[in-house]
Amino acid sequence: MAAPIDLHEVMEREREERFRTRWRVKACSSTACLSAGAGATIKAVEDLVEREDMALEVQVIPTGCMGLCSAGPLVRMMRRGGDESDYQKVTPEAAIEIVRSHVLDEQPVPEYELDVTMPFFTSQERVVLANGGVINPDRIESYVAHGGYQALEKALTTMKPKQVIEQIRLSRIRGRGGAGYPVASKWGLLASAPGKTKYVVANGDEGDPGAYMDRTIMEDDPHRVIEGIAIAAYATGASEAYIYVRAEYPRAIERLDRAIRVARRNRLLGRKILDTNFNLSVEVRIGAGAFVCGEETALLASIEGLRGTPRLRPPYPTEKGLWGAPTMINNVETLANIAPIIDRGGEWFASLGTEKSTGTKVFALAGDITNTGLIEVPMGTSLREIVADIGGGVPNGKEFKAAQTGGPSGGCIPAKFLDTSVDYDSLRELGSIMGSGGLIVMDEDVKMPDVAKYFMEFSMDESCGKCTPCRAGTVQMHSLLQRLTEGNGSKQDLRDLEHLCSVVRDTSLCGLGQAAPNPVISTLQYFRSEYEALIHEEEVVHA
Amino acid sequence: MSDTTTRRVVEASNRQQGDHPSGDNRFELVDKHLKRARYEQDQLIETLHVAQDVFGYLSEDILIYVARALRLPPSMVYGVATFYHLFTFEPPGDHSCTVCTGTACFVKGADAIVQGVSDAYSVPTGETSADGSLTLKTARCLGSCGLAPVVVLDGSVLSHQNAESTLELVGTAVGGEG
């Protein structure tokens, strides 16, 4: 058996490597920037370095997401021990100009410079995304150089499983998948469950349209997810783990697979991890396009190779999960928070955010907003700060109308609640949910009944068909919305719709069905007049 | 299909005809996966992914082959395969156009793009045009919301699309063949 990785030696080696050249060019190579042409940009810089013999002066480092996706491709020039300049919309030609100007003339290129003093950057607090734009996701050494696997080493060599859970309890972290269940309680349940075989499952089945936080975490910092899983397994006594990733994320699957192999080779997974008595195997399982598989019991069915249909709880997965054994399911973002908590202590984490919602939350900011991209803010930040300051407001002189959170299970928050603090409980009071973190801004042109219909169509398509309220109810609600939005609806249709909303919410088997009416309920609550305006006649008699 | 898969498919079909009992050497790639997965029944979804990657779609024969290999009832394999959206049972067209209809793309007018392509090539969403030249699909969310609306044409991501720009590019791709 090979010796385990020496974290401190790797750190030293990486530090030397970092200062080997005078310049480091960090280029965002996450999906959004690649779509915007980052591949050609990086190639252009690499060619330039070779052509002009700059290899002793410049190293090119592809990194994960830097955040401001709408300004991609993003490039950062870093001088040894000194200044940094960030650039936006860097075409291959621009990249050559920028690198030459810095290296040969020590001059920045103002034309493409990105203002990092704008609120988009200064109002963020990066914990989960700390490594985004910093490390090279393909190299474990890069992760280790930035403190990676220190938390796992600390937990395995200096803490008892109970002490690990105690730190999680102190952090008061709640599940990032949407419902906000206290993480420490779940861990405690699995730890106290009887039996030798226990499983930890990372939920990376990010199905909400408009959300790509988990994808970014898995693609840009795969080792962080693995480290979180390993700490969770150690604390709860599990020896097998799965990462369930949706098939729509091939890059995430590839990077996680590779990261698992590399971690095993370095004795960070497998048998006798870091020469302790802790063993853990981790495997990636791939979804096949079913939103309902984000629901934990459906997800477990899918891992077992079955149709992804949910089942009644209890028994909860912590009692009876994968193949009947106790199983704990944590969201990928939750697991990405674990290493920092163990590293810096639960109390530090609890000092971020609000009393009841601690820590930070990653949001995917999209829709009618100037700065689209991935942001991370302390819980409790106001919606106004996110939309107006960080997001740069609604473009084209249009008015803000609503923000949609929580995807098909969430709701729309109107302008009058812009000062709401974004945390689990405040959003729930407004009839929406935190969800996994998609935040879509809509301007005055968006018609709310259309939005409701859009989400209902989604829920209708994705209903697994196991229980009647969801299978039949979503179809009926969708046809009512269809009739209303086409201008053929009646007052009775609206009454039927409202009635169905409560029936489906109260009687569906799983969270998907129970939450399916939410977009309708919340748009009816805040934008009822738009529905009423669609009804032209007093009563329409349907044939 | 990824580049590596394409290469493996070409290699497999170049080998001596009849190496595999079925006469179609692409089944070797499925066998290889099954072997690695030790014929575990819970590997059904992964196996279907591999088979679809290799063959482009899941025909009845392929489903029966997988069922036999994993010792599962064909009805169950069919049930699982049809449950998940990503599996397809018809051969795909020469070109594929996938329009993202995630929330951000929806807000920015993805519907008009789907309608535009659907009308121009008289192909309903999720199907292939009569001449087999184009498959039109929608995706729930490609997670590139900063580039909305997003269209994926033959594997390359097109950002900030509208109906006209997409139609032009689809026209070039499809027409470029003829």
Q: Is B147 on the interface with A (CB under 8 A)?
A: yes
Whole-number percent of chain A with pLDDT over 90: 87
Number of domains in chain A: 4
Structural domain includes residue B147: yes
pLDDT at B153 over 80: yes
Structural domain includes residue A291: yes
Enumerate the residues of chain B whose CB falls inside 8 A of the CB of residue A205. Answer: none
Q: Do B11 and B78 fall within a single domain?
A: yes
Q: Cα(A492)–Cα(A490) distance, rounded to whole angstroms? A: 5
Domain range enclosing B12: 3-83
**pLDDT confidence bin for B25, thresholds 50/70/90:** confident
Enumerate the residues of chain B whose CB falls inside 8 A of the CB of residue A363. Answer: none
Q: Do A246 and A264 fall within a single domain?
A: yes
What number is the average pLDDT over the span B68-91? 95
What number is the average pLDDT over the span B121-128? 92
Q: Do A472 and A397 fall within a single domain?
A: no
pLDDT at B178 over 50: no
Task: Put the strands of the sheet holding A327-331 in their side by side order.
Answer: A281-286, A240-245, A199-204, A327-331
Structural domain includes residue A137: no
**pLDDT confidence bin for A40, thresholds 50/70/90:** very high
Q: Do A209 and B150 touch (CB under 8 A)?
A: no
Distance from CA of B133 to the nearest CA of A (A): 24
pLDDT computed for residue B142 by the predictor: 79
Structural domain includes residue B90: no
What secondary structure does DSSP assign to A442-504, as a single string?
EETT--HHHHHHHHHHHHHHH--SSSHHHHHHHHHHHHHHHHHHTT---HHHHHHHHHHHHHH
Q: Which of A36, A302, A454 sits opposite B106 (nearest CB)?
A: A454
Nearest CA in chain A to B77: A306
Q: Do A279 and A357 fall within a single domain?
A: no
pLDDT at A489 over 70: yes
From A399, A424, A443, give the residue that closes a domain.
A443
Q: Do B99 and B169 fall within a single domain?
A: yes
Q: Is B91 on the interface with A (CB under 8 A)?
A: no
Distance from CA of A353 to the nearest CA of B (A): 26
pLDDT computed for residue A60 by the predictor: 95
Whole-number percent of chain B with pLDDT over 70: 89
**pLDDT confidence bin for B140, thresholds 50/70/90:** confident
pLDDT computed for residue B16 by the predictor: 53
Domain range enclosing A412: 352-443
Number of domains in chain B: 2
Higher pLDDT, B20 or A291: A291
Q: Do A308 and A402 fall within a single domain?
A: no
The DSSP secondary-structure symbol of A280 reads: B
**pLDDT confidence bin for A93, thresholds 50/70/90:** very high
What number is the average pLDDT over the span A478-493? 95
Maximum CA extent, chain B: 53
Q: Do A314 and A454 fall within a single domain?
A: no
From A349, A378, A393, give the residue that closes a domain.
A349
Structural domain includes residue B88: no
pLDDT at B11 over 80: no
Q: Do A383 and A248 fall within a single domain?
A: no
Q: Is B128 on the interface with A (CB under 8 A)?
A: no
The pair of three-digit structure tokens given for residue A339, joined into one six-digit string? 């290493």
From B26, B60, B83, give the residue that closes a domain.
B83
What secondary structure does DSSP assign to A98-110, as a single string?
HHHHHHHH----G
From B83, B113, B128, give the residue that closes a domain.
B83
What number is the average pLDDT over the span A336-347? 97
Provide ipTM, 2 decimals: 0.89
pLDDT digit string (tens) for A346-363? 999 999 999 999 999 999
Q: Do A327 and A271 fall within a single domain?
A: yes
Q: Do A252 and A328 fall within a single domain?
A: yes
The region of weakest confidence among A35-39, A386-390, A443-447 is A35-39
| CATH code at position A459 | 1.20.1440.230
Q: Do A419 and A464 fall within a single domain?
A: no
Structural domain includes residue A2: no
Mean pLDDT for chain A overall: 94
| CATH code at position B131 | 3.40.30.10
- With 0-12 / 13-18 / 19 or more C-beta atoms within 10 angstroms meaning exposed / middle / buried, residue A89 is middle
Structural domain includes residue B117: yes
Q: Do B62 and B105 fall within a single domain?
A: no
Structural domain includes residue A138: no
Q: Is B152 on the interface with A (CB under 8 A)?
A: no
The region of weakest confidence among A22-36, A308-322, A338-352 is A22-36
Q: Do B105 and B161 fall within a single domain?
A: yes
pLDDT digit string (tens) for A211-236? 889 999 999 999 999 999 999 999 99
**pLDDT confidence bin for B176, thresholds 50/70/90:** low
| CATH code at position A194 | 3.40.50.11540
Are the C-beta atoms of residues A268 and A230 closer than 8 Å to each other?
Answer: yes
Q: Do A438 and A458 fall within a single domain?
A: no
Q: Are strands B156-158 and B95-100 parallel, antiparallel or unpaired?
A: unpaired
Are the C-beta atoms of residues A321 and A310 closer than 8 Å to each other?
Answer: no
What number is the average pLDDT over the span B34-55? 95
| CATH code at position A72 | 3.40.30.10
Q: Do A116 and A262 fall within a single domain?
A: no
Amino acid at site A43? K
Q: Do B76 and B107 fall within a single domain?
A: no
Backbone angles phi, psi at B154, to 5 degrees: 45, 45
What number is the average pLDDT over the span A511-537? 93
**pLDDT confidence bin for A35, thresholds 50/70/90:** confident
pLDDT computed for residue B8 by the predictor: 72
Structural domain includes residue A59: yes
Q: Is A407 on the interface with B (CB under 8 A)?
A: yes
- Its sign, for the CA torsion B172, B175, B177, B178, is negative
Q: Do B36 and B75 fall within a single domain?
A: yes
Q: Do B103 and B128 fall within a single domain?
A: yes
From A349, A365, A390, give the residue that closes a domain.
A349
Structural domain includes residue B157: yes
pTM: predicted TM-score of the whole model, two decimal places: 0.93
| CATH code at position A376 | 3.10.20.600
Distance from CA of A142 to the nearest CA of B (A): 25
From B83, B109, B139, give the residue that closes a domain.
B83
pLDDT at A391 over 60: yes
